Chains A and B, each alone.
Chain A
Amino acid sequence: MALLLKGGRVVDPAVGLDAVADVVVRDGVIVEVGEGLSIPKGETIDCAGKVVMPGFVDVHTHLREPGREDEETIATGTAAAACGGFTAVCPMPNTTPVCDTGAAVRFVVERAQEQGIVRVHPIGALTRGQKGEQLAEIGDMLAEGAVAFSDDGRGIQSAGMARTAMEYLAGFDALYVGHCEDESLSRGGAVNEGVVSTRMGLPGQPAAAEEVMVAREVMLAELTGCRVHIAHISTARSLEIVREAKRRGVRVTCEVTPHHLFLDEDAIVSYDTSFKMNPPLRTREDREALVAGLVDGTVDCIATDHAPHAAHEKELEFELAPFGIIGLETAVPLVVTHLVREGVLGWSDVVRLLCHGPRAVFRLPEVRLEAGMPADITVVDPDAEVKVEPTGLKSKSKNTPFAGQTLFGRPTEVLVGGRWALKGGEVVPL
Chain B
Amino acid sequence: MLSCTHILTMDDLTPEDIALVLDTADSFGEVNERRIKKLPTLRGRTVVNLFFEPSTRTRTSFEIAAKRLSADGVNFSASASATAKGESLRDTAKTLSAMACDLVVVRHKYAGAPQVLAECMDAHIVNGGDGIHQHPTQALLDLFTMRRALGRLEGLTVGIVGDVAHSRVAGSLVPALKKVGARPILIGPKTLMPPRPDVLGAEVSYSLDEVLPELDVAYMLRVQFEREAAMPIPSVREYARLYGMNGARLERAKPEMIVMHPGPMNRGVEISSEVADSPRSVVLDQVNAGVAVRMAVMYLLLGGDSSGAAA
Interface residues of A (CB under 8 A from B): 184, 193-195, 197-204, 206, 270-271, 312-313, 315-320
Contact = CB atoms under 8 A, between A and B. Distances in A.
A317 B80 contact: yes
Interface string B164-176: 0000100100000
B100 interface: no
Interface centre among B81, B110, B197, B199 (most CB of A within 10 A): B110
B115 interface: yes
A322 B134 CA distance: 23
Given A195-B199, A317-B111, 19 more contacts: A198-B199, A200-B112, A200-B133, A201-B111, A201-B133, A201-B171, A202-B131, A202-B132, A202-B133, A203-B132, A312-B84, A317-B89, A317-B108, A317-B113, A317-B116, A319-B111, A319-B131, A320-B80, A320-B81
B111 A202 contact: yes
Contacts of A197: 195-196
Interface string B73-107: 00000001110100011100000000000000000
Q: Identify whether the interface residues of B are mostly helix, strand, loop, or mixed.
A: loop
Interface in B147-189: 168, 171
Given A201-B130, A271-B111, A315 B195 contact: no
B262 interface: no
Interface of B: 80-82, 84, 88-90, 108, 110-113, 115-116, 130-134, 168, 171, 194-197, 199-200, 229-230
Contacts of A202: 111-112, 131-133
A316 B111 contact: no
A201 B196 CA distance: 11
Nearest to B167: A201
B112 A193 contact: no
Given A184-B230, A317-B89, A198 B196 contact: yes
Contacts of B84: 312-313
B199 A199 contact: yes
B115 A271 contact: yes
6 contacts: A195-B199, A197-B196, A201-B133, A270-B115, A316-B89, A319-B110
Contacts of A206: 195
Given A202-B111, A271-B115, A315 B90 contact: yes
A184 to B, nearest CB: 7
A320 B199 contact: no
A317 B83 CA distance: 11
Nearest to B175: A199
Contacts of B132: 201-203
Contacts, number: 69
Contacts of B113: 317
B51 to A, nearest CB: 15
A198 B230 CA distance: 20
Which of A194, A195, A198, A204 has its CB near the most chain B CB atoms (within 10 A)?
A198
Given A193-B195, A197-B195, A198-B197, A271 B229 contact: no
Contacts of B134: 201
A323 B133 CA distance: 20
A315 B88 contact: yes
B110 A318 contact: yes
A270 B132 CA distance: 16
B169 to A, nearest CB: 11
Nearest to B166: A203
A316 B80 CA distance: 9
Instruction: Name the residue among A199, A313, A315 with the largest chain B CB count within 10 angstroms.
Output: A199
A72 to B, nearest CB: 18
A160 to B, nearest CB: 19
B113 to A, nearest CB: 6
B131 A198 contact: no
A319 B89 CA distance: 13
Contact of B196 (A195, A203, A319): A195
Contacts of B168: 201
Contacts of A317: 80, 89, 108, 110-113, 116
A199 B194 CA distance: 10
B262 to A, nearest CB: 16
A312 B199 contact: no
Contacts of B90: 315
A287 to B, nearest CB: 18
Nearest to B168: A201
A318 B88 CA distance: 12
Contacts of A198: 194-197, 199-200
A316 B195 contact: no
A207 to B, nearest CB: 11
A395 B191 CA distance: 43
Given A201-B133, A201-B171, A194 B195 contact: yes
Contacts of A201: 111-112, 130-134, 168, 171
